[in-house]
Structures are given as structure tokens and as C-alpha cells.
Structure 1
Amino acid sequence: MKKFLLLALLLCAFAMPAHAGAAYPEKPVQLVVAFPPGGGSDLSARVAVEFINRQIPQPLVVTNISGGTGSVGAKHAMRAKPDGYTLYWEHPTLAVQSATGVIDFSHRDFDIVGVAMRSTFILVANKRLPVKNATELMQYMQDNPGKVRWPMSFGAMSHYGFLYVADGWKGAPLVPGIVANAGDKDRVVALIGDHADASCVSLSAAAPYIASGDVQPLGVLSRERMPMLPDIPTLREQGIDAVYEQIFTLFAPKGTPQGIKDQLHKAMQDGLNTPEAQKAMAALYCMPEVLSPEESLKLWNAQEERNRELARNYLNKK
């Protein structure tokens, strides 16, 4: 009888799944970045995983899947198996594209692990333009409709950067001379080469050229001055009510087990809330801001609703 019981116990043990009770993750985790290497999304993701990986037994590995202004990578991550082995790193491109109708899904089609860090955009100008601050640029644009060449990509964050600024201006409506353009780096190069006059670009993309004197900074679109560039005022300080920030966020496919999301959030919190991580983020002109899933969702909802408002007011979108 005892032999029978022992044999039954052994058979039950072999019948259990090999992964039962094992710590997550058991293998490397794909972290999808929906933009090419070298941009703000890619660099911020790589800084984040460097410190998150110190908290978990297997690494997050950045995989760049670009195309469709971020929509190709987003769809890949959204459709992945919700087992914790495919994650998604995103700033609010989703909140722009869903509001504009460029895509038929949104951040609500993912589970939010949490906001990890934030950065902002900066209004910069061709140094040949006869303005010295954001207010002067707005007045110059108002007095010269269509004359100021403004590079942007329709339905992308660069497009909404202009809309945020224009909507925050209290004067007459602004009419830019639109220059089709794809990325932050291209926009800065266009300003330097005198192929454009002004634009909103990510702080990380503009900072080296501000330091070299190739472009002139007119104001940041953050809530307060950025510690890395304390001498550059916000647009709000200049009477332009425009705040537009990049909220870099870790997502998982819808239905990912809560335990896995909790573990990832703790790893993010423990990894990024260290002096070493904060120093690395500052080098990218990012600030640590690890938020709970609930706080993160509230922030994303607010930005999407603001984008929808701008789309209704300026783009005739419902």
C-alpha cells in the first residue's frame, strides 16, 4: 500500500507542468519599441531595461519594430500572447494617433504596467529668424501667416506639438507654412540647414544643437523648468498655456496575469528609483516618474482627451 501511494505521488509530480511555481521570467522578455534605434523612445527604453534587468532573473531585450509612425510595433505587441514575454514601451504616440483616427485602437487595448519616466518637447527656431522667445515667435507668426516654415508629420506628436502651442496662444489663430517631415532629428537638421524656421522637438534631440548654438531655444512645454536646462523658461511663463510631455510607459498585452504585472512594476520602481538610474535618465533629458497603473491610466486618458479636443477644434475630427 505504501509503495502504491509513493508511486502515485511520483506520477503526480511528473504530471505537473515544468514551469509550475517557477519564478517569472524564465526566459528573456521581448520589449517592443515601435521606432528605429537611436531615437528618444529607443534610448529611453534601453536606459530603463538596464536598471529593470538588475531586479529580475531574465533580461528584457529591446526589439525595434518600426513603421506606420509606431503603429506596426504597437499592433505586434497588442496581438502578442499575454504571458509576460512580450511587452511594449511607448510615449503618447498612441494617444495622438487614436485621437486623430490614424489607428483604430488605443492605450486601452493594453494593460498598463506603469509610467516610468517623463520628458518634454521644446520649441526651437532657426537662429536666423528675428525672434528671441516664444511670445515673439507667436506674434511674428500672427503678423506673417504662412511665412514661418514648420516641419511636422500629420497625425504624429510633431503635429500635435504645433497644435498645443497654437491653442495655448491667446492671440489670433496661427497659420504655419507646413513642411512635411518625419523625425525629430530631421526637423532639427532642417532648422540648421535653413529649410525650416521653427518646430517642437523632443528635448533629447534638440539639446546638443542648443549647446552648440545651431538652433535657438524658445521655451519648454513642461509643467516646470527642466533641471537639465534651468535657464530655458516654460511656455506658460511666457503667457502661452501649453504643456505637452512625453510619458514613457511600460505596457503589456491585455489579459497579462496580475502577478506578472505587479512584479514588473516593482522591478521598474526599484530599478529606476536609484541615483545611478536617475543620472542615466538625466543624460537623456528625462526625469524619473514611476507611477502606479491607476495613476498612469489617468494620465494617459487625460492626454488622449486633450488630443481629441484639439482634433475636434483644428482637424474637424469627432
Structure 2
Amino acid sequence: MSSSSSLLFLFLLSLSVVKPTSGFKICAFNVQSFGDSKSQNTEVMRTLIQIVSRCDVCLLQEVRDTKQKAMALLMTALNRYDSQNQYAYVASERLGRTPSYQEQYVFVFRVGSVTVTDQYQYPDMLPGDEDAFSREPFIVRLHTPKTAIQNFVLVPQHTTPTNATKEIDALYDVFLDVKKKWKTEMVMFLGDFNADCGYLAKKNRQHVRLYSNQAFLWLIGDKEDTTVRQTTTCAYDRIVVHGEAFANAIVPQSARPFNFAEEYHLTEEQALVVSDHYPVEVELKAGSEHLAGHTPLIILMAFIIST
């Protein structure tokens, strides 16, 4: 092959190279009664902003923003903190069986990395059981162009501890509903399931379809500790995905609790002011970017042979 042909080959080869994008992190955090009081605490807000800014999409639970000011303050501070990105959020209605205690699910997401293409407040009217959940899932369908799978659904759940077994099992009915409604099986469940330490007895797991159905993969294992207090070791917070395709899109060993106390050098007392839970997180494999009009390798090989 002549020198000019060699240079041309190298140029064509450079056009065909697959260029990976950065990874994509999904987080879920029970912020423990996030509202006016915590939003006025400078140290708490600093830690929350650091945690949320690590994630492309972050589910916040126990948002009790009765004055509707706390989330606005968080978002303003977050966008000021991370000047390279802009963040937005979608929130559920206020949920709970009693007017005196209600919460919201909130998804904070990085604009550009995530587009919320659909949202759906689950009605909690299962056949034969009209009150399966204390806080019905607020379901979002996402488009994430930087990931390998690009389109999937997130189903959040913060169970009532004394009803955890029933509520986790009922998530299977939510899955069937999403599958029918949006014609997809690419579903991730995430949140504070209270799925350990007496609230979900191991003898009852055979009756929980998210456990008994082998199509569901529990990414946060029973041996993890998602609690801040040193006197407890419980895997309350979980991430579960459905199907082989979704499982293959997960970065191996990326699912874990995030020990923000250790990361940000906080004492247990300081960390507990933020929350008594650690966030849980998982990373999706990146997609790949191809330059327009790139030359397939089979054509390059033919070019080499011909020259």
C-alpha cells in the first residue's frame, strides 16, 4: 500500500472509531422530611446539593414541602452550584392516607442528559384491593440519549414499614400496568422499600412477586447498609430492574449505597441532620457517538485488500 493510501486508510479508520460517552447515574434518596426547616439549614443544603449533583436523575422521597418553597430553594442552589449543567424536576401530587402526613416523590434531573417524555400518577385501584399503597408510585418515562438503552421507566416507592411486604408485592401489578400502558418492559423500581430488618421477613419473600419472579434483578443486596446510624445495619433502600436487556445495561458493581458521611467527612450526628438514610445509586452503560457518514470496517478492509 502506498504512503498516500496509508494516510487515507488512517483517516477513514479515524472516522469509524466508536467514541464512548460518559456514564449515567441514577440515584434514590429518602431525604427524611425535607421541607422548610431543612431548606433553611445551610449545612444540610450544601450536603444535599453535593449528593444530587452527582446524579443524572435523582429520586427524592419524603419531600414534605407544604409551603412549596423548599424545592425551589434547592433547585436554585443546585443550578448555582453546578454551573456546567442545568437541572429541572417533576413532582407527584401530595400523597398519603391522612391529611396530617403527606409526601411527594420528586425526580430531579440533569437537562440535556434526561428528557421526561411521560409521567403517570398510579391510581392505586388494584382489582380486589383499592388501597395497596400508602403513597402510590409517581411513574416517569425517560429518554436518555447518552445511555445504551435510551428509553426506560422509573417507578418509585416509599413503603409504609408495617405494610412493606404487601406494597412491594403490589409493585408487580404496577409493572403490568406500565407494560400495558406504554408497551415497554424496561422498568426500574427504586426507593425506600423498608425491605429488611423485620419489615420484610425472609419467610414472606416467596409471596412477593418481585422476588419470586426471576425476571426481576435486585441490584442492592441484603448485606448492604443503607442507614446512617451505626447501631443499625439494614438494606431498606433498593433498586430493582426488570429483564435481561436492562440488566445488561447496568455497569457491573455500580449499584451501591453512597456513604455521604464518609465522603464529606461528617460525624454521625451531622449526617443525621441531613437524613437517616444513605442514597442508593446505580450507573448505566454509556451509549456511543458515531460521526455522521463513518466508514464501516468491512469497507476499510476491502480498501486495504484492493490497495
Q: Which has the higher contact order (CA 8 A, sep 6+)?
A: 1
Q: Identify, as 1 or 2, the structure richer in strand.
A: 2
Q: Identify, as 1 or 2, the structure richer in helix.
A: 1
TM-score clears 0.5:
no
TM-score (norm. length: structure 1): 0.31
